[in-house]
Amino acid sequence: MRMLSILLTFVLLATGPAEITIRGQVLGADGKPLPVSHVHLGYWKQGVSYTFLTRDAGPDGRFQVTLTEPGYYELWATGIWHYPAVAYLPLNDSTDTIRLTFQLKPYRYRDPVDSVAVIGSWNEFNFSSALPMEKTPDGRFRITVSADADTVFYQLVGVEEEDRSINGTRSDFYQYDGGGDYRSGLKARKGQPLEIVFDPGVLPRYPDDPSLPRIRFDASHGFLNKIDEIQRHLEKLKAAYARDLVRRREAFLPGTPQLDGSSLFDALGAPLQSDNQTLRHLAALTLLESTLYGVELPPAMKQKVLEALPAVDHPDWAMNPLALNAWVALKDSSQQQWLLRKFLERNPAKTVQAQALILLLFRAKGAGDLQKQRELYQRLQAGYADLALVQPYLKFFNPDSPIRPGAPVPDFEVTLLDSPRVVTAADFKGRYLLLDFWATWCAPCVAEIPVLEEAYRRFHPLGLEILSLSLDRDESVVKKFRRQRHAMPWLHALLKGGFNDPVARAFDVQGIPRPVLVGPEGNILAVEGDLRGEKLVATLNQYLKVQQDRASREQ
């Protein structure tokens, strides 16, 4: 739960002339109130895990939240046995009461439910140490745990088809888990055995309704219904894009998919010319963002988008900070730095400022300007560390990361894929080692492989070893890729824990590809940008030049 900014004061009841009151009701898939439901207020596009105010919706599902400052918010609704749903609230000039109703979408369960695990307060709800439940002849699942307190909370894994951790079928009470789902609570005796029983036969089931989740605003706020419609349409297109991306990667198909531009054009053509400025701005920003997904805007529409974009200092950019990436990409390289600085200094929205800082940091890091990177990083950390969009970059841009040139390589131990041999950092002393963190599903990683193959061909005879560390889920995927796409005739290992694998954590892997070059003495020589594309061969040539010259003289 995030602490409330001192600039915003949220109270349960309205007090004062500038207040914006939000009233409504949370309903289940059957149109009835749920036994347990909540609403959660957060900043726009931050996600359900980054809300800063939670209110119990009550037995009738009704809620009221009042805020004293306009802004760009998300209001999430959650309830047991249902997925969370979000209402988008661009309240930049509203001072009246907004009424809305949430009707949530029910969980989709695995069919059949044949393997269930449990996490709980005894293991801090850690998925990696989930305990398997035993299936009994009556179709139920059981497990006995030692109660760590007089109240034990637990969640089930393997029941819901997306592998969400959800509440069980036996509960004395429920607890919201902070991520859109609920925990079941059971009364217990601390230190005594406690049996947890799950019965798939009593899971609540509802008729299929593809229109869920459904959110409806009152008639006087009809434009919010349209904004909700735009957001959901975009989410569906992005989901289809993601499925196509997975399909292509699993089949090792070249290229990347493209967002369904024609569908987006049909949905946003009218809003792009709306009299409502907020709606017009959202349509323009959404279309601009779509170019990041391979959509090419027709010339006439592109012109309308550029004309409809909010000014640099307009807070509506907060509705889609990622559109800034696309907007900057349209500019000449000589203007990009200047434009990002303008957004950073003049836009009032914190998320937009953060996005501008992130893009400036990418440029500083790519240019090897450590001083500028440190300056920008300190600003990011001091003013924006509480934002969801910033979290992945706090380690990635850290100028004092332990994975930097001159630092000793962390010790590691992995089992090779092509043999039972276990290798450690010490095994490569005396040779140059290029660690290649990658995955078959990572398009930029795959694009680097021809360069890696050329580097291996030229420098392996001179003392270079490559160890590719895959973050794929299964080694069979890597082996199939190497048979069908690229042989990659060097050493390979699988990091079964993905980004949470101990080796990935030791090397601060926040994204891939992540190359790290280690010298014969065990010190890191180069990372990231100096080892990508054409720079890889140049960097290797710099360090292996002595060996190369010696080999040339001996020929």
Final residue in a domain of this structure, among 68, 88, 106? 106
> Hey, which bits of 293-450 come out as E strands?
413-415, 422-424, 432-438
In a domain, 316, yes or no: no
DSSP tag of 512: S
Strand 71-79, strand 37-43: pairing: antiparallel
In a domain, 211, yes or no: no
Pair 412, 532 in one domain: yes
Pair 421, 394 in one domain: no
CB contact at 8 A, 376 and 360: yes
Range of the domain at 486: 407-552
In a domain, 46, yes or no: yes
Pair 190, 302 in one domain: no
In a domain, 488, yes or no: yes
Tokens of 221: 């706020």
Pair 88, 154 in one domain: no
Pair 506, 414 in one domain: yes
Q: The CATH number of the domain where 413 resides is what?
A: 3.40.30.10
The count of residues in the chain is 555
Pair 128, 144 in one domain: yes
Final residue in a domain of this structure, among 260, 277, 309? 309
In a domain, 347, yes or no: yes
Pair 122, 229 in one domain: no
Pair 417, 538 in one domain: yes
- Quote the pLDDT of residue 6: 26
| pTM of the model as a whole | 0.80
Question: C-alpha 224: how far from its chain's center?
Answer: 26
Pair 530, 445 in one domain: yes
Q: Which residue has the tokens 């004061």?
A: 9
State phi, psi for 231 to the nearest 5 degrees.
Answer: -60, -45
Final residue in a domain of this structure, among 374, 400, 426? 400
- Residue 167 to residue 128: CA distance in whole angstroms: 18
A 10 A CB-CB count for 506 gives: 15
What's the alpha-carbon Rg for the chain, to the nearest Å? 27
Q: pLDDT below 70 — which residues of the chain?
A: 1-18, 93-95, 546-555
- Quote the pLDDT of residue 550: 56
Q: The CATH number of the domain where 84 resides is what?
A: 2.60.40.1120
Q: Is 357 helix (H, G, I), strand (E, B) or coil?
A: helix
- Quote the pLDDT of residue 503: 96
Q: Is 58 helix (H, G, I), strand (E, B) or coil?
A: coil
State phi, psi for 181 to the nearest 5 degrees.
Answer: -125, -175
Pair 55, 190 in one domain: no
- Residue 92 to residue 21: CA distance in whole angstroms: 14
Pair 526, 508 in one domain: yes
Pair 81, 29 in one domain: yes
CB contact at 8 A, 42 and 74: yes
The total domain count for the chain is 5
In a domain, 233, yes or no: yes
CB contact at 8 A, 98 and 23: yes
Residue 420: which region, alpha, beta or left (left: phi > 0; alpha: psi -120 to 50)?
Answer: alpha
